[in-house]
Each structure stands twice: as C-alpha cells, then as structure tokens.
C-alpha cells in the first residue's frame, strides 16, 4: 500500500514538473499555447501562454515511461499526466479570471487541483482511500513549494512560488 501511495505521488510530481523542464530545455521552441491565444469576454486569455501543447505532450510521454519503469502500465502514467494537467489548466483558468499574471503563484489554487484530480480519480487503481488522497494533496502542496524554490535557484524556474 505504501508503495502505491509513493508511486502515485511520484507520478503526479513528474507530470507537473515535466512541462517546467521542457520549457527550460527547449526555451520557446514548440511552445504553442493550448488555448491558441483565445480570450474570453473578460479580456483575459483562456489559459495563458505558459500552458503549451509541448508541456502536455512531454508530461504524458515522460509520466508514461516513469509509470512503466515503476511497474505500472503506460495507460496509468498517461492518465495521471492528463488528469494532473487538467487540474493545472483549471488552476490557470481561475487565475486568468482573477487577472493574475501567467506564472504568478496563487496559493492553494496552484497546488490542489493538479494533485487532487489524479489522486481522487485513480485512488481505486492505486488501492488508496480518501485519507491517502488527502495526504497526497498535502504532500504535493509542500513538495511543490519546496521544489519550486530549488528549481528557481538552479535556474530551471523563472520565479519561485
């Protein structure tokens, strides 16, 4: 059971971190925005410039490989990635409605959906209960804040959370 918990937690971290590393490695290459520049009547972008097809594709690929290496199917890995990034897109959508800049931090909005969605939807596949899901979300919240600062100091992130 602990192995399943740790595996899902690691896959969520990988899914959420891959787009950041892809931007660091590829700079502006292949950085087509998921929303293709579309704005809503409030004048704000749907998701913003930092949510790219490159990040989504990279997250699905890398998380699928990691899942396979950890003894799970590539379908589980790709599902974790898609759900984590759907949570991240939801966060970005809310941040645009609040008129926050892309890349700016909104405490809780930035961490909860991208960990809660995959943990809750996949809890049966990983043999977890609701307390495990809550613990994953809390652990991800803490890890995201710590890793963000580390990656900023290493030059991988543009700004720390």
pLDDT top residue among 104 and 19: 19
d(CA 77, CA 59): 9
> Is pLDDT at 134 greater than 70 in this prediction?
yes
**pLDDT given for residue 155 in this prediction:** 82
- Please tell me whether the overall predicted TM-score, pTM, comes out greater than 0.75 for this model: yes
Q: What is the mean pLDDT of the chain?
A: 91
Segment 75-106, tens digit of pLDDT: 999 999 999 999 999 999 999 999 887 767 78
Summarize the confidence of residues 4-15 as an average pLDDT: 96
pLDDT band at 154 (very low <50, low <70, confident <90, very high): confident
Summarize the confidence of residues 59-63 as an average pLDDT: 98
> Of the ranges 88-97, 106-115, 129-138, which is most confident?
129-138
**pLDDT given for residue 2 in this prediction:** 62
d(CA 119, CA 51): 21
**pLDDT given for residue 24 in this prediction:** 85
**pLDDT given for residue 34 in this prediction:** 93
Summarize the confidence of residues 46-50 as an average pLDDT: 87
Rg of the chain taking only CA atoms, in angstroms: 15
């Amino acid at each position: 059971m602990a192995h399943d918990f740790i595996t899902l937690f690691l896959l969520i971290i990988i899914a959420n971190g891959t787009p950041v590393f892809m931007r660091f490695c590829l700079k502006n290459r292949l950085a087509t925005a998921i929303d293709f520049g579309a704005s809503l009547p409030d004048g704000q972008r749907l998701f913003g410039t930092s949510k790219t097809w490159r990040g989504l594709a990279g997250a699905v690929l890398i998380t699928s490989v990691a899942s396979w290496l950890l003894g799970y199917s590539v379908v589980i890995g790709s599902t974790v990635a898609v759900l984590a990034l759907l949570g991240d897109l939801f966060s970005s959508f809310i941040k645009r409605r609040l008129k926050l800049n892309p890349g700016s931090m909104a405490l809780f909005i930035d961490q909860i959906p991208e960990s809660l969605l995959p943990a809750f939807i996949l809890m049966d596949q990983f043999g977890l209960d609701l307390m495990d899901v809550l613990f994953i979300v809390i652990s991800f919240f803490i890890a995201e804040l710590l890793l963000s600062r580390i990656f900023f100091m290493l030059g991988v992130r543009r700004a720390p959370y």
